[in-house]
Amino acid sequence: MAGEREGRHASCRALSYDFVKSTYSSGSGECVEVAGNVPGEVAIRDSKTPDGPILRVAAPSWAVFTSGVVSVGLRFGG
């Protein structure tokens, strides 16, 4: 049992994300920040709460999502 616990914790790693805001962001502070510097994943957070939760998704899933947004021309926030 102890070996399983140690193995599970040994695979954990501290990640450092380099978040950026979209150039489409307004100055109102209601922005989504995205980090793509960790191989294989994309991290997303709310700019109003930089110490809050981070949503992590697989990089291919993020690519499909953003392609879909671009293809239908979605615009948020008016």
Q: What is the pLDDT, as a whole number, of residue 59? A: 97
pLDDT digits (tens, 9 = 90+) for 26-39: 777 778 899 999 99
Assigned token pair, 23: 């150039």
Low-confidence ranges of the chain (pLDDT < 70): 1-14, 74-78
**Residues pairing with 33 in the sheet:** 21, 45
Domain boundaries, the chain: 17-71
Report d(CA 60, CA 11) in Å as an integer.
Answer: 22
Q: What is the pLDDT, as a whole number, of residue 14? A: 66
Q: What is the pLDDT, as a whole number, of residue 10? A: 43
Report d(CA 57, CA 43) in Å as an integer.
Answer: 6
Of residues 26, 13, 23, 24, the one with CA closest to residue 56: 13
